[in-house]
Amino acid sequence: MAILKVARMGHPVLRTPTEELTRSQVRSAEVQRLIDDMIETMQEYDGVGLAAPQVHAGARLAVLGLTPADEGTAGKPGVTVVVNPVITPAGEAKVLGWEGCLSIPDLRGEVPRFTSIHVEALDRQGRPLVIEASEFFARVIQHECDHLDGVLYIDRMQDMRSLTFIREFERYVGTETGAVEE
């Protein structure tokens, strides 16, 4: 396994929509190695998610540092792999929450996201995967899936005045708000 270089805002790979993977591609040694490397990279940088474009890969693939069972628990999180994810909101409710991104280092901003979502995808073995997610887990999934469409969290911000450097965020806003650092 290897720690991969993370693309930063401004690199065209972050603005390019990704390509779907076939089930045989998902099972290939190349994609399995990419998944392992993405997990290691996400963990190295203390992220809660990482999308393939962030490591210069054009695949419709993301790794999440949570599983549905982790939602709302204080235990050590697991890892969920989503391939070709399709998100459907499970209601109209949205909430503002703080987000950060490994591709936009040192910044945070408030982003509106659906509070509950339904996700259909493939898992790392190419099998169908269905996830019902809410709150923080739903936010993480939406953030990562945006990357697969070439969208960054700053594109979703309603008010750019909330954009802040992490140091000032920690000093003036506080960490109790549960910012997403992916």
**Per-residue model confidence as pLDDT tens digits over 43-82:** 999 999 999 999 999 999 999 998 776 655 444 568 999 9
Write out pLDDT tens, residues 8-53.
Answer: 999 999 999 999 999 999 999 999 999 999 999 999 999 999 999 9
Domains of the chain plus CATH, in order, are 12-181 (3.90.45.10)
Tokens 């990419």 sit at which residue?
34
Task: Select which of 99, 144, 181, 182 is catalytic.
Answer: 144
Give the Cα separation of 156 and 111 in Å (integer): 6
Residue 173 predicted with pLDDT over 90: no
**Which pTM value belongs to this model?**
0.91
Candidates 9, 136, 18; CA nearest to 82 is: 18
Is 182 considered catalytic here?
no
Does residue 10 contact residue 50 with C-beta atoms inside 8 Å? no
Give the Cα separation of 8 and 2 in Å (integer): 19
